[in-house]
A = this chain, B = another copy of it.
Amino acid sequence: MFLRNYWYVAAFGHEIGRNLLARTILGDKIVLYRTEDGSPIALANRCCHRQAPLSMGRLIGDTVECGYHGLTFNSTGECIRVPGQKKIPPGAKVRKYPVAERWRWIWIWMGDPDLADEDLIPDHLYRYNDDPEWSCVEGYLHVKADHMLLVDNLMDLSHETFLHSKTIGTVHVAETPAQVAQDDEGVTITRWMLDRPPPPIYDKSGGFSERGETVDRWQIVRFEPPSNCCLDVGVATAGTGAPEGDRSKGLSMRSLNFLTPETVRSTHYFWTFPRDYKLDDEEISKLHAEGFHNTFTEDLVMLEAQQEIMDAHIGQPTVNINADKTTMPVRRMVNKLLNEQELTSI
């Protein structure tokens, strides 16, 4: 069961073009392409005639011709041609999903089309992807695990200490309690680690150690449903006022993550990493792209193993720890929304 009346990330913009891309989202088989004017289109990837996947057909202008018997659908999903006959049978159409392109991504609305409002795309979280004052690397992983395990992973960064000790994890993360704040739109987790040695990934760019400085480090994680997990992370020279809002002596990054369920047991993990420093430094960009791919792959391996153990122990109880104060409010919010959706659709 998935939250339906939300925008989900379907693809990177550069993945969609004048070809037919098959992708499964929330269990739905979908075909994605662009019209001749460049607009992204998402249709059910299932011909209404004999269920052949439209992605195996041909893109002709703005229309899709089924590769099996030649039924042709326009970009609203209406069948406009049936070979050998003039009359289009009633009901000959395929579902069209509302889509929008914003912040490098193709967004898809998986619920009632009448409710699809592009203003609901969380610009405030993702605008850094395209902001000229930020420089961005990006990536994608296919993870064979429930997307909520990925949400848990990103909300509770205490795992960095253990799973990512080679890159971004230090002992301080797990030892520093986080503050939790909830509002109607989401959950915010805030962790400040003051006056600490800088983690390697920042030190290379910031030169703190060279100057004999320690840093104030922050991790501010924002969750908004259905599965936006956006991190505001960075460091500033210790004592220069970062906790109070002055980041002028620091470096900021955003770790922007969207976890799109493919099925109940698999996830499309879309991520970007904008930074606000050394925007044109290719070496840092390469370092970030490779570094975060490797770090997230450490997550992938753990999460797939976790999923496998969970599937072998369905119904067995677990124990919560203090760090779960960061994940439990998110789980409760999502469950509440799922219940409301269930009741609404009765």
Contact = CB atoms under 8 A, between A and B. Distances in A.
Contact of A306 (B52, B316, B319, B323): B52
Given A82-B321, A175-B83, A312-B29, A158 B70 contact: yes
A66 interface: yes
Nearest to A46: B309
Interface string A284-317: 0000000000000000011001101110110011
Contact of A67 (B162, B309, B316): B162
Given A56-B305, A162-B66, A49 B320 contact: yes
A50 B305 CA distance: 11
A174 B319 contact: no
Contacts of A91: 317, 319
Contacts of A158: 69-70, 83-84
Given A50-B152, A66-B162, A69-B174, A89 B321 contact: yes
Interface string A160-195: 011100000000001111000000000000000000
Interface of A: 27, 29, 45-46, 48-53, 56-57, 65-71, 79, 82-85, 89, 91-92, 152, 156, 158-159, 161-163, 174-177, 301-302, 305-306, 308-310, 312-313, 316-323
Kindly name the residue among A65, A310, A319 whose own CB sees the greatest number of chain B CB atoms within 10 A. A319
A313 B24 CA distance: 13
Contacts of A45: 309
Contacts of A301: 56
A190 B83 CA distance: 17
Given A51-B310, A52-B306, A174-B70, A65 B322 contact: no
Nearest to A320: B89
Nearest to A85: B322
Nearest to A89: B319
A172 to B, nearest CB: 10
A140 B162 CA distance: 34
Given A83-B175, A319-B48, A319-B92, A309 B69 contact: no
A306 B84 CA distance: 22
A68 to B, nearest CB: 5
A58 to B, nearest CB: 8
Kindly name the residue among A48, A52, A89 whose own CB sees the greatest number of chain B CB atoms within 10 A. A52
A51 B318 contact: yes
11 contacts: A49-B320, A50-B306, A50-B318, A51-B306, A51-B313, A56-B305, A70-B159, A82-B322, A84-B176, A84-B321, A85-B323
A257 to B, nearest CB: 18
Nearest to A91: B319
Given A51-B309, A51-B310, A309-B46, A67 B302 contact: yes
A59 to B, nearest CB: 14
B69 A313 contact: no
The 6 closest A-B pairs by CB, nearest first: A83-B174, A85-B322, A70-B162, A48-B319, A51-B309, A92-B319
Contact of A68 (B162, B176, B310, B318): B162
